[in-house]
Amino acid sequence: MKKLCAIIRLRCPRCAAGPIFARLLRMNPRCPVCGLEFEREQGYFVGAMYFSYALALAEVLPLIVAMLLLGFGAAPIYIACCLVLVVSAPFLFRYSRVIWIHLDQVIDPR
Protein backbone atom coordinates (compact mmCIF):
# COMPACT_ATOMS: atom_id res chain seq x y z
CA MET A 1 0.00 0.00 0.00
CA LYS A 2 2.93 2.30 0.78
CA LYS A 3 4.34 1.67 -2.71
CA LEU A 4 1.02 2.44 -4.37
CA CYS A 5 0.72 5.69 -2.42
CA ALA A 6 4.28 6.60 -3.40
CA ILE A 7 3.47 5.98 -7.08
CA ILE A 8 0.26 8.00 -6.93
CA ARG A 9 2.07 10.86 -5.16
CA LEU A 10 5.06 10.60 -7.59
CA ARG A 11 7.49 9.88 -4.75
CA CYS A 12 10.79 8.06 -4.49
CA PRO A 13 10.58 4.23 -4.48
CA ARG A 14 13.13 3.88 -1.66
CA CYS A 15 11.96 6.41 0.94
CA ALA A 16 8.46 7.23 -0.40
CA ALA A 17 9.04 10.82 0.70
CA GLY A 18 11.23 12.59 -1.87
CA PRO A 19 9.48 13.99 -4.95
CA ILE A 20 10.68 12.50 -8.25
CA PHE A 21 9.66 15.57 -10.24
CA ALA A 22 10.92 19.09 -9.50
CA ARG A 23 8.51 20.69 -11.97
CA LEU A 24 5.79 19.51 -14.34
CA LEU A 25 8.20 17.85 -16.80
CA ARG A 26 11.55 18.17 -15.03
CA MET A 27 12.82 15.36 -12.86
CA ASN A 28 15.10 15.64 -9.88
CA PRO A 29 18.37 13.82 -10.72
CA ARG A 30 18.43 12.36 -7.20
CA CYS A 31 15.92 11.97 -4.42
CA PRO A 32 16.17 15.11 -2.25
CA VAL A 33 15.49 12.99 0.86
CA CYS A 34 17.50 9.73 0.51
CA GLY A 35 19.77 10.50 -2.47
CA LEU A 36 18.59 7.65 -4.73
CA GLU A 37 19.70 8.33 -8.30
CA PHE A 38 16.57 8.29 -10.48
CA GLU A 39 18.21 7.98 -13.92
CA ARG A 40 20.68 5.14 -13.42
CA GLU A 41 22.19 5.28 -16.90
CA GLN A 42 21.70 6.90 -20.28
CA GLY A 43 18.62 5.52 -21.98
CA TYR A 44 17.26 4.28 -18.67
CA PHE A 45 13.76 5.54 -19.35
CA VAL A 46 13.28 3.69 -22.64
CA GLY A 47 11.47 1.02 -20.62
CA ALA A 48 9.03 3.67 -19.38
CA MET A 49 7.67 3.88 -22.92
CA TYR A 50 5.95 0.52 -22.42
CA PHE A 51 4.08 1.92 -19.45
CA SER A 52 3.31 5.11 -21.34
CA TYR A 53 1.81 3.04 -24.14
CA ALA A 54 -0.24 0.94 -21.71
CA LEU A 55 -1.52 4.01 -19.85
CA ALA A 56 -2.41 5.75 -23.12
CA LEU A 57 -4.24 2.65 -24.32
CA ALA A 58 -6.15 2.44 -21.04
CA GLU A 59 -7.10 6.06 -21.58
CA VAL A 60 -8.30 5.98 -25.17
CA LEU A 61 -9.72 2.46 -25.46
CA PRO A 62 -12.86 3.21 -23.39
CA LEU A 63 -13.24 6.45 -25.33
CA ILE A 64 -13.04 4.62 -28.66
CA VAL A 65 -15.54 1.97 -27.56
CA ALA A 66 -17.96 4.57 -26.19
CA MET A 67 -17.77 6.69 -29.34
CA LEU A 68 -18.24 3.63 -31.56
CA LEU A 69 -21.30 2.60 -29.55
CA LEU A 70 -22.67 6.14 -29.91
CA GLY A 71 -22.25 5.92 -33.69
CA PHE A 72 -19.37 8.32 -34.29
CA GLY A 73 -17.24 7.90 -37.38
CA ALA A 74 -13.49 7.38 -37.59
CA ALA A 75 -12.55 11.06 -37.96
CA PRO A 76 -14.25 12.33 -34.78
CA ILE A 77 -12.87 9.35 -32.85
CA TYR A 78 -9.37 10.08 -34.14
CA ILE A 79 -9.65 13.77 -33.24
CA ALA A 80 -11.01 12.99 -29.78
CA CYS A 81 -8.20 10.51 -29.11
CA CYS A 82 -5.59 13.02 -30.25
CA LEU A 83 -7.05 15.71 -27.99
CA VAL A 84 -7.14 13.36 -24.99
CA LEU A 85 -3.58 12.22 -25.59
CA VAL A 86 -2.24 15.75 -26.04
CA VAL A 87 -3.95 16.98 -22.87
CA SER A 88 -2.80 13.95 -20.86
CA ALA A 89 0.78 13.88 -22.18
CA PRO A 90 2.28 15.32 -18.96
CA PHE A 91 0.31 12.77 -16.92
CA LEU A 92 1.52 9.91 -19.13
CA PHE A 93 5.11 11.15 -19.06
CA ARG A 94 5.22 11.48 -15.29
CA TYR A 95 3.41 8.30 -14.32
CA SER A 96 5.14 6.08 -16.88
CA ARG A 97 8.54 7.15 -15.51
CA VAL A 98 7.47 6.80 -11.89
CA ILE A 99 6.05 3.31 -12.50
CA TRP A 100 9.24 2.35 -14.32
CA ILE A 101 11.46 3.62 -11.48
CA HIS A 102 9.37 1.74 -8.91
CA LEU A 103 9.41 -1.50 -10.92
CA ASP A 104 13.15 -1.23 -11.44
CA GLN A 105 13.70 -0.62 -7.74
CA VAL A 106 11.71 -3.79 -6.95
CA ILE A 107 13.72 -5.88 -9.44
CA ASP A 108 17.15 -4.34 -8.75
CA PRO A 109 17.12 -2.36 -5.47
CA ARG A 110 19.97 0.08 -4.82
Which residues lie near Zn ion (CB under 5 A)? 12, 14-15, 18, 31, 33-34, 36
Q: With respect to Zn ion, which residue has the nearer C-beta, 12 or 67?
A: 12
Cα 88 vs. chain centroid, distance in angstroms?
Answer: 10
The angle subtended at Cα 99 by Cα 42 and Cα 110, nearest 5°, is: 60
Kindly state the smallest distance separating residue 51's Cβ from Zn ion, in Å: 20
Kindly state the smallest distance separating residue 62's Cβ from Zn ion, in Å: 34
Kindly state the smallest distance separating residue 41's Cβ from Zn ion, in Å: 19
- Residue 50 vs residues 12, 47, 53, 82, 96: alpha-carbon distances, Å: 20, 6, 5, 19, 8
Q: With respect to Zn ion, which residue has the nearer C-beta, 31 or 99?
A: 31
Q: How far apart are CA 48 and CA 93, in angstroms?
A: 8
Q: With respect to Zn ion, which residue has the nearer C-beta, 12 or 92?
A: 12
